[in-house]
Structure 1
């Protein structure tokens, strides 16, 4: 190849990567909904026409950002799976992922995209990225392939893989609380929680049931609003913010658009209302659990079990945190604060449990964020493990974090 052609190719690749870097930052702040060719072009001092030379459509650009993130995770997994044991593979994956986040934070590596917005893509790009994500997911599941874990069914391996990936994805929401130089210490604390769980050696799995009737609407007016918000939550979880249009929500409930706007002034208001419902359910479960007799381990495990079960009940699911990226930044920050308050209450329960000896001495803040991420991810358990029952959800999904990801 002629030297001039090589230089031209290098320039093309450098500019393409610069566009992807800028577009990924926009994607992470505003979701697919907020990423446009013109906004991406302005971020790199190009005209929109110039950007179309690299990416003809908005979805092409968004898909390229997401695919680059999936590829980065795939490379980390390839390295992690060279380790001989499941525990060592897990440690390498955490080390590589948090190091990449650290490098991004200090400006030495491009950002990783938030992968939660894949559903907001149009076809055929959604199918292409989903296929790549599925391949990466199956690669992650290989962490659990070992003779010592032969007792794990395929469904339980899949559930634990989903939980593990959610820990990586949600970490981006709470890691900014720390200085990047502390990330190695945080990695070890996350690893300790995943390996050892939160229960003390003397504590066993046996959560006290919290009846789902305690979480159901109490009067006719509340039932009407609950029906509306539940339909919207299910659509947003399954199709993303952009896919859950007002028309589709109205059709799901067999009501007119006028009825929709009677309940909510705008679509963003609806997402906020769905989040408010989610946080209200979680706080109610926490209050009910905290009133139970017994120790803090009983209360914490009972709250986790109830929320895992709620996700697959007729009243579930709760709104996935992935919807956050679609909200305007001020509203998104407010919703994150609400989520943090739920986590902080879990942290208080964990601290009390450590003090009394029913829980292991883990980092309460990190453990609470990891628990919150797990319970939120339970909304998609039925997708990843088809046929899993409501009653089985606590043992299949909540127990692995609380008792140890490689424990029976």
Structure 2
């Protein structure tokens, strides 16, 4: 062992040079996956980015899925390291601030070229077994540790609320990659503080009552012959659950008990399917925003009703909305179009928040950053569907809405 230490090797015989080269390959592969999704990962692309030939890559990773798995493990390692450090702090607000701050510090180092990207986790569910089971177990451990940032739940109600908080916090951290580059690097610290203000205190002014309207939005799926809406709904649920790669055309058709030919009667290709699923989701959000514009009351009532209506849709048989993580699977040109649509929706939320701040019904916050927090929080609602099914829909909506409307640490407002 002493000789191994002196020679720069560990107990497995790996040298420092081997580990450094492996890390370089994983970092490059993570960038490829973020640009093209796991299905677009190739040894040739990774080799070109690190200045090696393809054969050299196979010395470290025998299969493409082994490399993808290593990228996911690297991301999960970083999350657990940050969570373990955060748990050493005494109070939930300090822990969450540390957790959020560590991710902003990482993004700043990445923007400065001092650290490689972490792979997004959108395709984690699409990995083959037994790798999928192992990685999902690790993700559940990350979730449990995130929930523990808010303390130990001593009853079901507390644990449910902490679960909602954990989902919202994680989704906001994962969503940062989609919008943080709009800001100059020297503004990252300010953005972090403004986002933490939203997460800590919410968007509602003190004493704002929770009395939203629930508006009818979204087209229900046909109950007889499968319609285009039926295909989009089945595909949305499967993509959210299994990722782009895991939601095959055959599987979507099987969900509806129809042939693959029926699928292609409605849509030309799988990428077209994802695009249409996004369009359906974005149109549902826009429809809700239009209801808000036409409704009475102040901006707090309009925004809280928008959030409640979208949550009601998420938890209903008409839902869910498509998770924005599916954007990674789309060709770059189309992906940017979908991101622009998402940004347009976020800007509309920002306008509502800005008007609410002016009239005094919304807390003084950065409306652009708060709008992104609302967008990120919609992703979390899909994860909440599983446990929300065991409680009254109104309670599920109230628990979830409290995280963004009143902040992550208010136990008694809703």
Alignment TM class, shorter chain as reference: over 0.9
Give how far 1:37 is off. 2.2
Q: CA deviation at 1:209?
A: 2.2
**Alpha-carbon distance in 2 for matches of 1:294, 1:236:** 37
Cα offset for 1:54? 0.8
195-204 vs 305-314, which moves further? 195-204
Is the counterpart of residue 180 in structure 1 residue 185 in structure 2? yes
Contact 1:32 1:62 in 2 (8 A): yes
Of residues 185, 201, 204, the one that matches 2:209 is 204
Deviation at residue 388 of structure 1 after TM alignment: 3.9
Q: Helix, strand or coil: the match of 1:115?
A: coil
TM-superposed deviation, 1:398: 2.0
Spell out, residue by residue over 1:33-87, the C-alpha distance to the aligned partner (whole angstroms, 9 max, x if none). 1112232222222222221211111111111111111111111111111111111
Displacement of 1:248: 1.1
Paired residue for 2:255?
A: 252
1:299 is matched with: 302
Partner of 1:310: 313
In 1, the alpha carbon distance for the partners of 2:399 and 2:57 equals 46
Aligned to 1:144: 150
Instruction: Give the 5 Å matches for 1:24-173.
Output: 24-145=30-151, 153-173=158-178
Q: CA deviation at 1:238?
A: 1.1
CA contact (8 A) 2:171 2:379 kept: no
Aligned: 1:271 with 2:271: no
Aligned residue pairs, count:
405
1:349 to 343, 352, 373: 352
C-alpha distance in structure 2 between counterparts of 1:201 and 1:91, whole Å: 22
- Post-superposition Cα deviations, 1:344-377, rounded to whole Å, max 9, x if no partner, equal 1111100000000000110000000100110232
1:329 corresponds to 2:332: yes
TM-score (norm 2): 0.93
Q: TM-score, normalised by structure 1?
A: 0.94
Provide, for residues 245-278 of structure 1, a one-character-per-residue CA deviation record: whole Å limited to 9, x for no partner: 1111112222222221121111100000000000
Task: Say whether the 8 Å CA contact 1:80–1:92 is kept in structure 2.
Answer: yes
Q: Which runs of 4+ in 1 moved over 3 A?
A: 2-8, 149-152, 217-223, 383-386
Change (3 A) 1:351 1:55: same
Pair 1:315–1:100, CA change in 2 (3 A): same
Whole-Å separation in 2 of the counterparts to 1:386 and 1:67: 31
Name the SS of the counterpart of 2:37 in structure 1.
helix
Match in the other structure for 1:406: 409
Partner Cα separation in structure 2 for residue 9 and residue 223 of structure 1: 58
Report the secondary structure of 2:322's partner residue. Answer: coil
Work out the CA distance in 1 between the residues paired with 2:57 and 2:87.
38
Would the aligned equivalents of 2:221 and 2:229 in 1 still touch at CA under 8 Å?
A: no
Distance in 2, Cα, partners of 1:205 & 1:375: 18
Q: 1:53 and 1:155 mapped to 2: Cα distance?
A: 46
Match of 2:241 in 1: 238
Deviation per residue, 1:314-361 (Å, 9 max, x gap): 100111111111111111111111111111111110000000000011
Change (3 A) 1:245 1:146: closer
Tell me the distance in 1 between the aligned counterparts of 2:39 and 2:276.
19
What CA distance in whole angstroms lies between the structure 2 residues aligned with 1:281 and 1:219? 17
